[in-house]
Structure 1
Amino acid sequence: MLVLAGGSNVVIGDDGFPGTVVLLRTRGVHVADRDARGVLFRVAAGEPWDDFVAHTIENGCSGLEALSGIPGSSGATPIQNVGAYGQEVAQTIEAVHVYDRHEDEVRVLSLPECRFAYRSSIFKNNERWVVLEVDFRLTLSADSAPIRYAELARRLGVEIGERVPAKQVRETVLQLRAGKGMVLDPADPDTQSVGSFFTNPVLSAQEWAAVQDRLVDAGEPPSWPAPNGTVKVPAAWLIEKAGFGKGYAGAGGVAISSKHTLALTHRGGGTTTALLDLAREIRDGVRDRFGVVLHPEPVLVNCSL
């Protein structure tokens, strides 16, 4: 059985799925609690994510504003700990209500039980759990959470750590995402994608040193410190420096977005096979150039990279 909500971060093999597909279409957002820590929103898994983000901002709450414009459902966000522009849902999730298919019971998993990590959780690639509802604890404030992402801070004209109106952050993030083809638009073929196809690699100190030894004339890549002495490097930079620029076309009607090297797009007539062939070409090119293996961000169903 395949549980599918928005399907915006899913790649399905050309042969389809050999089983039953359950479409999650639950709706609803309500305030479950309100105290000194803020407002606890309980949102149904099938609720469109960006509608929920807009609802929280309209009701004077902050904590999700940098996650504006992401397509898909609210219940999908904890599965891979959705994040963007310095925020991720693990920062505001208090609990996830799930159906446990092994034990045939509904359970409420606390934040530690969800085992959130970078683009990962206990739910990802695990058929045991069906997300039913998600509890988000948000701050009751018209101002945003502290700005943590350099590109967003530059666009807002503020320093890292400053706060601005949450509505302003939402508007700015939507503009940034649209500029990268990351906001759904029927008139923009670059939005016919599953978003960022590869996660940003997190490298050990030894792996990072090996990459630097291979730079030659590529220039110094941007990087950010990550937990336990590791370093996060942008996959988009590695892809471009490995020779796969914006608009790079694969065979069979697929191509890299003309706006963003992380997005692989459908150009008409493309198949999943063609998409994965292009993804393999990119992955292998980055590995050969920098010694770094990129990993797919979307869930792959009845297909593999």
Structure 2
Amino acid sequence: MGELLADYTTFRLGGPADQLLTHHDPDGWPDTVRAAGERPFILGGGSNILAADAGYRGTVIRMATRGITAHPVGTDTIEVTVQAGEPLSELVTYCVAEGLSGVEYLGGIPGTVGAAPVQNAGAYGQQIADHLTHVTAYDWTSRQLTHLDTDQCGFRYRSSRFKTEPGRWTILTVTLRLTRSRRAAPVAYSHLARALDVPLGARPPLAEAAAGVIADRRARGLTLPTTGPDVRQAGSIFMNPPVTAPQAAAVRAAGGPVHQDPDGVTRASAGWLLEHCGYTRGLHVEPGVACSSRRVLTLTARNGATASSVTAALQRMAGDVAQATGIELRHEPVLLHGPTMTA
């Protein structure tokens, strides 16, 4: 049998893959494609994956290419090309050190740069799509390399064509166009403004803003811990769900927050909905599975956890919210099982 997927996911769960290939060398991609054969599953940092206990009956390619290159394209505009296996946190650190604004609010988000466009990773009013110009990707349907410009990526709130066409694309590089500046983008979130002690719309120093984001995420349990009971997790387990006007009114009447996402869709807070249904920090939901000690929107794997028990917890929590409010929650982690995957 192959290597355990548990060794490559932050839940630390999952059986063996039939074949697990690690792609290190950007120039070696044709060799990786030949070794993979049929369409594989692509694994980045494993921070958004729940692999089945029985493993995966197929090939998994782990993207481990690293590297960041930059060149000017204008007086104060820099184009940065990043290898898919580069951790997103390392890209943020690099850009802040180089005085490049555009991704400073994405610090502390786990995973790789190649995975960021799939989910259109974002935080504090900034998302990866905002400054992305194009990606280089391999199309497993045509078996060809291609460049996809921003308008070809189908970006939406926490989604893209890479997510809605699962398995078709492997992102190899991501290119961003950033601005040379000592100042961060305007602060758009109230709690970040309070954390930085600046008014909304202010542009604090770049390094100060980036450090404030990390501190705020850590204080709210939004970073992956390295020790303690919450270390085995995949971050937020549900996306903030879209709601109808009557549902939004009901949530507001019950004291819950409602907001509009960048696409103009009205959404409720998934964390508030779970709390409204009786979920609390540290609550044991299924055998070996508990809400994080910091927030109910994060599930953690404890002793005795299995992928099946995590899946059962996801189903129970979503079912309780649907029964109580009529609002459907959609899970964030990709469920990897058999020869298929479920987003």
TM-score category of the 2 structures, normalised to the smaller one: over 0.9
Q: Which of 143, 147, 172 is equivalent to 2:187?
A: 147
Q: 1:228 to 1:41 in 2, by over 3 A?
A: closer
3-state SS in 1 of match to 2:305: coil
How far off is 1:36 after superposition?
Answer: 4.0
- 5 Å-filtered alignment, 1:96-111, equals 96-111=135-150
* Counterpart residue type for residue 257 of structure 1: S
**Equivalent pair of 2:79/2:176 in contact (CA under 8 Å):** yes
Q: C-alpha distance in 1, partners of 2:61/2:202?
A: 43
Query: Is it true that 1:92 corresponds to 2:131 in the alignment?
Result: yes
Partner amino acid, structure 2, of 1:301: L
Distance in 1 (CA, whole Å) between partners of 2:263 and 2:123 is 21
SS of the aligned residue for 1:202 comes to coil
1:281 correspondence with 2:321: no
Measure how far apart 1:76 and its partner are: 0.4
SS at match of 1:208: helix
Q: Deviations over 1:60-90 (max 9, x none)?
A: 0111111101121110000010011221111
Q: 2:270 matched to which residue of 1?
A: 235
1:244 to partner: Cα distance: 0.6
Q: TM-score, normalised by structure 2?
A: 0.83
**Correspondent of 1:46 among 75, 82, 85:** 85
- Contact 1:45/1:133, CA 8 A, preserved across alignment: yes
Within a 5 Å distance, the mapping from 1:13-162 to structure 2 comes to 13-36=52-75, 38-125=77-164, 126-162=166-202
Give secondary structure in 2 for the equivalent of 1:269: coil
Residues 1:291 and 2:326 aligned together: yes
Q: Distance in 2 between matches of 1:23 and 1:37?
A: 35
**Contiguous gaps of at least 5 residues in structure 2:** 1-39
Contact 2:84/2:174 (<8 A) preserved:
yes
Match of 2:204 among 146, 154, 164: 164
* Identity across the alignment (%): 37
Is the CA contact (8 Å cut-off) linking 2:223 and 2:235 kept in structure 1?
no
Other structure's SS at 2:73 match:
strand
- In structure 2, give the amino acid aligned to 1:110: D
Code of the aligned partner of 2:158:
R
Which secondary structure state, in structure 2, belongs to the residue aligned with residue 194 of structure 1? strand
| Alpha-carbon distance between aligned partners in 1 of 2:153 and 2:220, rounded to the nearest angstrom | 31
Counterpart of 1:257 in structure 2 is 292
Contact 1:250 / 1:278 at 8 angstroms: preserved in 2?
yes
Is the partner of 1:265 in helix, strand or coil? Answer: strand
Secondary structure of the corresponding residue to residue 285 of structure 2 = coil
**Consecutive unaligned residues in structure 1, runs of 5 or more:** none
Cα 1:55–1:270 change in 2 (3 A) is same
Shift of 1:132: 0.3
- The 3 A distance-change label for structure 1 pair 37 and 288 is farther
TM-score between the two structures when normalised by the length of structure 1 = 0.93
Within the candidate set 43, 48, 67, 1:9 is matched to 48
Q: Name the SS for the 2:240 alignment partner.
A: coil
What are the residue-to-residue correspondences of 1:211-222 with 2, within 5 Å? 211=251, 215=253, 219-222=254-257
Which residue of 1 is the match for residue 22 of structure 2?
none
**Contact 2:157/2:262 (8 A) holds in 1:** no
Alignment RMSD, CA only?
1.8
**Equivalent in the alignment of 1:195:** 235
Contact 1:50–1:69 under 8 Å retained in 2: yes
**Contact residue 251 and residue 257 of structure 2 kept, 8 A:** no
Q: Are the counterparts in 1 of residues 251 and 258 from structure 2 also a CA contact under 8 Å?
A: no
Question: Does the 8 Å CA contact 1:254/1:274 hold for their aligned counterparts?
Answer: yes
Instruction: Give CA-to-partner distance per residue, 1:282-305, whole Å, 9 cap, x none.
Output: 111111121111001121111769
| Deviations, residues 104-138 of structure 1 (Å, cap 9, x unaligned) | 21111011100100110000152111100001111
